[in-house]
Each structure stands twice: as C-alpha cells, then as structure tokens.
C-alpha cells in the first residue's frame, strides 16, 4: 500500500511513522508513506498557500492552486483508490472504514488547516471526507496519523501475530474482553480461574461472554 499525505506542516506528523509498528511496517515495505509539503507547490514568491475568505470573516482558507498542482502531479503518476480529505464535517471514522481502506493500493490524504480548503478542492478532487470525531483539531495532520495507524496495522504481515488484529475491540462489533498476564495472583487479586485452566473451549466461551458483558455495560449503542 502507498499513502501520499499532503500537508502544510509535515513535521507535525512524521514522528508516528518513525517508531514501533508503523516504522517496522515501512521497513518491511508493507506500506510506503510519502509527505508532500503544500508550500513546495505555491506559485508566488511568498510561498503563500492560504488567503482571506471571500465574503469576509475570520480565518484563512487554503488556496486551490497549490493543492491542485500537488494532487495532479500525483494522479499523473499512478491511479488512486481514494483521495481523502480530513475534516470535522466528514463521515465519522470507524473500524469498518479502517478495514476497507487497508485493502486499497494507493491513497492520498489531504490535511486541512486554518478554516479549511477552498470548497472547489473538495468538489473537484476529493472522493472521501473523514472526521475522527465530533471535535475540532487545529489541522488534519493528527487526524491523518490516526487513520494511518489504524489502517496500517490491519495490512497482513504488519502485526506479528496476524490473528491479533482480528481480536481487537470493534473488529467483530463488540468490545474486546479483559486480558491478564503473570503473575496469576498479585496482592491477593486473582486472574479468573478459567483462563488458567488450559481448557480452550471454556476460555473461548468466557471471552465471548466477557466481550458481550463489557459491550452491554460500556457501549450499549453497539448492540442496537
Ligand atoms: N480536522 C480538524 N478537526 C478534525 C477532525 N475532527 N477530524 C478530521 N480532521 C479534522
């Protein structure tokens, strides 16, 4: 999978890709991530990428020309499955969307800043608009890092034990069951007996029951 991220502030989102699982996924060539600084596509001598909005009002708007140049260059080099714009008024991201995106070959993610991008960018180039939740960030960069993290860990081979992504919360519509590790007793606090029993069918049943109980308690909306 190839991910091209277009941003005015690349330094805001490089570090998540330089450690741990994402770093290893890149090293193993299971995914490649490229950052494109919109300023490099500015057409005037001040490297301007934003301007006042027509009609007046506070906040700058990202201009269409630098974004058009960047996206058009990328599109001339390969086909893209989706051109995604990170925005609080997009469709709310969830595990289903992560699964879908993880099957794609090439995607572009455009990070907005200030008041957002000129609407014509969205009308002409964007195929998918994603929000990570009903709150406003100062830009799309951190949101795009979240999308990339949740998508990349689903690519086969990225996680050591491939089944472990399948047992995540939300993967089957339920929250994940409780997990424990050694010691089996600490300060008198015990691990549920069944998990120590070695009886795989009973353990599986316990996990299913715990997942359901947790979901009923914490996220009843998921069961509706
Ligand atoms: N940019 C600003 N806020 C955002 C959000 N909640 N989701 C995605 N992109 C954003």
Identify the residues whose C-beta falls under 6 Å from ligand 1: 86-88, 112, 131-133, 135-137, 140, 143
Asked if the model's pLDDT at residue 36 lies above 80, the reply is yes
Q: What is the CATH number of the domain that holds 180?
A: 1.10.1270.20
- Strand 2-7 relative to strand 32-37, pairing: parallel
**Based on the structure, what is the number of domains in the chain?**
2
**Percentage of residues in the chain having pLDDT higher than 70:** 99
Q: Would you call 130 exposed, middle or buried from its count of C-beta atoms within 10 A (0-12, 13-18, 19+)? A: buried
Domain boundary among 97, 120, 152: 152
Read off the pTM: 0.94
**Percentage of residues in the chain having pLDDT higher than 90:** 92
Residue 163 lies in a domain: no
Residue 158 lies in a domain: no
119: helix, strand or coil: helix
Q: Verify that 124 and 206 share a domain, yes or no.
A: no
Residue 218 lies in a domain: yes
Q: Verify that 62 and 148 share a domain, yes or no.
A: yes
Domain boundary among 152, 185, 207: 152
- Which residues lie closer than 8 Å to 127 by C-beta, 6 or more apart? 82, 83, 84
Q: Verify that 141 and 186 share a domain, yes or no.
A: no
Q: Verify that 46 and 143 share a domain, yes or no.
A: yes
212: helix, strand or coil: helix
Band (pLDDT 50/70/90 cuts) for residue 22 is very high
Q: What is the CATH number of the domain that holds 10?
A: 3.40.1280.10
Q: Verify that 60 and 132 share a domain, yes or no.
A: yes
Whether residue 145 contacts residue 91, with contact meaning beta carbons closer than 8 Å, is answered with no
Residues spanned by the domain of 76: 2-152
**Mean pLDDT computed over every residue of the chain:** 95
Q: Verify that 135 and 173 share a domain, yes or no.
A: no
Q: Verify that 62 and 119 share a domain, yes or no.
A: yes
CA of 5 to the centre of ligand 1 (A): 15
Asked if the model's pLDDT at residue 12 lies above 90, the reply is yes
pLDDT value at residue 162: 62
Residue 159 lies in a domain: no
Q: Verify that 49 and 127 share a domain, yes or no.
A: yes
Looking at the DSSP assignment, which residues form a beta bridge with residue 108? Answer: 4, 83
149-199 pLDDT tens trace:
999 999 999 998 766 788 888 888 999 999 999 999 999 999 999 999 999
74-97 pLDDT tens trace:
999 999 999 999 999 999 999 999
CA 66 to chain centre: 24
Asked if the model's pLDDT at residue 221 lies above 80, the reply is yes
Query: From atom 2 of ligand 1, which residue's Cα is the shortest distance away?
Result: 137
Q: Verify that 112 and 176 share a domain, yes or no.
A: no
Q: Verify that 34 and 128 share a domain, yes or no.
A: yes
Asked if the model's pLDDT at residue 122 lies above 70, the reply is yes
pLDDT value at residue 171: 83
Residue of 126, 138, 140 best suited for mutating to test ligand 1, as the one with most atoms within 8 Å of CB: 140
131-150 pLDDT tens trace:
999 999 999 999 999 999 99
Average pLDDT over residues 45-53: 93
Terminal-to-terminal C-alpha distance of the chain: 34
Query: From atom 7 of ligand 1, which residue's Cα is the shortest distance away?
Result: 131
Q: Verify that 72 and 28 share a domain, yes or no.
A: yes
């Amino acid at each position: 999978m190839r991910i091209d991220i277009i941003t005015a502030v690349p330094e805001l989102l490089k570090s998540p890709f330089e450690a741990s699982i994402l770093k290893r996924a890149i090293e193993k060539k299971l995914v490649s991530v490229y950052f494109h600084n919109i300023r490099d596509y500015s057409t005037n001598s001040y490297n301007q990428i934003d301007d006042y909005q027509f009609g007046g009002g506070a906040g700058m708007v990202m201009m269409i020309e630098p974004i058009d140049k960047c996206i058009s260059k990328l599109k001339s080099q390969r086909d893209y499955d989706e051109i995604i714009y990170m925005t609080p008024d997009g469709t709310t991201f969830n595990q289903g969307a992560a699964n879908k995106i993880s099957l794609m070959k090439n995607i572009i993610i455009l990070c907005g800043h200030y008041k957002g991008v000129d609407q014509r960018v969205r009308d002409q180039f964007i195929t998918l608009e994603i929000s990570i939740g009903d709150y406003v960030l100062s830009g799309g960069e951190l949101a795009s890092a979240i999308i990339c993290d949740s998508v990349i860990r689903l690519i086969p081979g990225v996680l050591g034990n491939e089944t472990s992504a399948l047992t995540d919360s939300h993967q089957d519509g339920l929250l994940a069951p409780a997990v424990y590790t050694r010691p089996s007793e600490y300060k008198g606090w015990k691990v549920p007996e069944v998990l120590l029993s070695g009886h795989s069918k009973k353990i599986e049943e316990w996990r299913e029951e715990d997942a359901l109980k947790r979901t009923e308690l914490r996220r009843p909306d998921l069961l509706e």
